[in-house]
Copies of this chain bind each other. A is one copy, B any other.
Amino acid sequence: MYAIGEEETVGDAEYVNIWTLPERPARGPKPVYSRAQITEAAIRIADAEGLEAATMRRIAAEIGAGAMSLYRYVPSRDNLIELMADRLMGEIDLTGVPSGDWRADLTRYADGLRAMWRAHPWIAAVQRSLPGLGPNQLLLIERLMGVLDPLVPIDENLGLMALLNGYVEGAVREEISAAEELRRSGLSEAEWMARGHAHVDRLVKSGDYPIFTKIVMEARRPHLSRDDQFRHGLRRVLDCVAAALPPTAQPAG
Q: Give A contacts to B, CB under 8 Å.
A: 11-13, 15, 17, 19-20, 121, 124-125, 127-131, 133, 138, 141-142, 145-146, 149, 154-155, 158-160, 162-163, 165-167, 169-171, 173-174, 176-178, 180-181, 184-187, 192, 195-196, 198-200, 203, 209-212, 214-215, 218, 222-224, 229, 232-233, 236-237, 239-240, 243-244
Which residues does chain B contribute within 8 Å of A215, judged by CB atoms? 141, 145, 154, 158
Task: Contact check, A127 vs B129: say whether CB atoms are below 8 A apart.
Answer: no
How often does this chain occur in the complex, in copies?
2
A139 to chain B, nearest CB (A): 9
Residues of the B chain whose Cβ atoms lie less than 8 Å from the Cβ of A185: 13, 15
In the docked arrangement, what's the CA distance between A20 and B169, Å?
29
Q: A166-B163, A229-B159 are in contact. Are A180 and B17 (CB under 8 A)?
A: no
